[in-house]
Amino acid sequence: MTIVEQPYAYRRRELVEPDWTRLPGWAGVTAAEWADVQWQRAHCVKNVRQLRELMGDLLEDSFYADLERDQAERATMSMLVPPQMLNTMVPATDGPVPAAGAEYTAAFLADPVRRYMLPVFSDRRSDWPSHPHATRDSLHEHDMWVTEGLTHRYPTKVLAELLPTCPQYCGHCTRMDLVGNSTPQVTKLKLAGKPVDRYSAMLGYLGTHPEVRDVVVSGGDVANMPWKNLEAFLLRLLEIDNVRDVRLATKALMGLPQHWLAPDVVEGVGRVAQVARARGVNLAIHTHVNSAQSVTPAVAAAARAMLDAGVRDVRNQGVLMRGVNDTPEQLLDLCFALQDDAMVTPYYFYMCDMIPFSEHWRVSLKHAQHLQHAMMGYLPGFATPRIVCDVPFVGKRWVHQVEDYDTERGISYWRKNYRTSIEGDDTEALSRDYVYYDPIDTLPEAGQQWWLQQSAASAAQDAAAAQDAARASRELAQAQLG
């Protein structure tokens, strides 16, 4: 029999929970403590001091200096990493733990989970740290709020942001405008309304908009909402006749699986799932896993607990990032880990959104198309994820749906077939081109030069405008004195 060599060699890998006692600060932590959600929440790493205490002499001082500089000058998210996630960095499950010092630091710097959960200054690009068109709310979700926290962007679907916190903060978070604590670079937007009032307004809107049938219940992360409050909201949501799909968004299924394994939560999900089933509503959980090493037995147990409780499906929406999962092997390894042993359906990979300081994570559309092509044919069709570009003012578009693409300047053009909630009387909304930009450092030399010239011209314009404003203000002051 001839064995045909394939570009990707599938092999089933056993899921492994890395040994947390290899980390000096957790050398004495018991399995019972590790499984306890309160212990996990209480031992999250929130600052450099706590990371030092945990890691002992494993990491060199240069790493902490790099991390501190990033926190001060670049970070758009504050630090918050649950033990479960930290334990999957340099998991040492295929070999010995690297030696303390230079060897461990190099392995930690190269680790895909570390790269997006604990970003350091030297990870980021120094030439173009941000794209000139990067913005805080890059998807304009707030512009499309129909009540505070409820984004109506697609004809039949809404996103309900119930709360602005998560059990873990990801460096690349697309909702960096709202989610988490302020950083030196980003003062976060605050939700103004009281939670009960916001939820009532959301439910009121849904009850009077029969065209909305699909609700993504998100945040933040719903795992940070006290269960009884979330259950109360979901039960009221399920009373609305037009709601046919409910998806709970929680990265914590991976980052803090202990939450979804806690008996009160499992029982609560069971009650909500029963009501959903009785009313013919599809209740699903959407999680966010970016790397195969994050899929451990605890994560698989949490996904199975949700399915056993009656949730119809658990699906993964990862984010495509350079140095994390930007090769076909990394993506396929992750998808098979999810599909083979965790019963999580690979669903989407989003291109990383155009938020400030994200250029080192973003990939070009061309590369995303290559990855999509390379993934086809290995997984079952229903579990072959689509790589999508979330185009501002448009929504998710499969990367091959692009209308036009200037690969020299890295500008892609997209169209859409529906109006968002803010385009009711916009007659050109469906014929306009909407744009997305590749990271500039990935462009050919001519494209990079073009962006440098654009940037110089725009800086000159800004300087001229500033001079005009200063002159006008001086003239006004003199006129007032005179």
Q: How far is the CB of 287 from ligand SF4 (least distance, A)?
A: 9
How far is Cα 260 from Cα 298, in angstroms, rounded to an integer? 10
Shortest distance, CB of residue 441 to ligand SF4, whole angstroms? Answer: 24
Smallest separation (angstroms) from ligand SF4 to the CB of 179: 5
**Residue 169 vs 393, nearer CB to ligand SF4:** 169
Q: How far is the CB of 164 from ligand SF4 (least distance, A)?
A: 9
Distance CA 274, CA 270 (A): 6
Tell me which amino acid residue 316 is: N
- Shortest Cβ distance from residue 221 to ligand SF4 (Å)? 5
The CB-of-254 to ligand SF4 minimum distance in angstroms stands at 9
Structure tokens belonging to residue 270: 């069971």
Do 282 and 335 contact (CB within 8 A), yes or no? no
Looking at the Cβ atoms of 17 and 221, the one nearer to ligand SF4 is 221
Nearer to ligand SF4 by C-beta: 170 or 261?
Answer: 170
* 36-47 CB burial, b ≥16 within 10 A, e <16: ebeebbebbbee
Residues that bind ligand SF4 (CB under 6 A): 166, 168-170, 173, 175, 179, 220-221, 251, 288
Q: Which amino acid is at 248?
A: L
Give the nearest distance from C-beta 402 to ligand SF4 in angstroms: 25
284, β-bridge pairs: 247, 313
Token readout for 440 is 């500039």
- For residues 169 and 199, which CB has a smaller minimum distance to ligand SF4 in the complex? 169
Q: DSSP state, 264?
A: H
Query: Whose Cβ is closer to ligand SF4: residue 84's or residue 412's?
Result: 84
Q: Smaller CB distance to ligand SF4: residue 170 or 443?
A: 170
Distance (Å, whole) CA 334 – CA 346: 9
Short-list 74, 5, 8, 79, CA closest to 330: 8
> C-beta of 333: minimal distance to ligand SF4 in Å?
21
Sheet of strand 411-414: strand arrangement: 404-406, 411-414, 434-437
Query: What are the tokens at 160?
Result: 């309900």
For 104-133, the three-class secondary structure string (H helix, E strand, C coil) is: HHHHHHHCHHHHHHCCCHHHCCCCCCCCCC
Closer of 220 and 439 to ligand SF4 (Cβ)? 220
Minimal distance, residue 77 CB to ligand SF4, in Å: 6
Write down the least CB distance from residue 288 to ligand SF4, Å. 6
Q: Return the number of the residue (217 or 281) whose C-beta is nearest ligand SF4.
A: 217
Q: What is the three-class DSSP state of 421? A: coil
Q: Cα–Cα distance between 413 and 220 in angstroms, integer?
A: 30
* Residue 383 half-sphere exposure toward CB, CA atoms < 13 A: 20
Cβ proximity to ligand SF4: between 225 and 443 the closer is 225
- The answer to whether the peptide bond before residue 323 is cis (omega within 30 degrees of 0) is no
Q: Would you say 85 or 331 has its CB closer to ligand SF4?
A: 85
Cβ neighbours, 10 Å, residue 112: 21
CB distance 325 to 331 below 8 Å: yes
First to last CA, the chain: 98
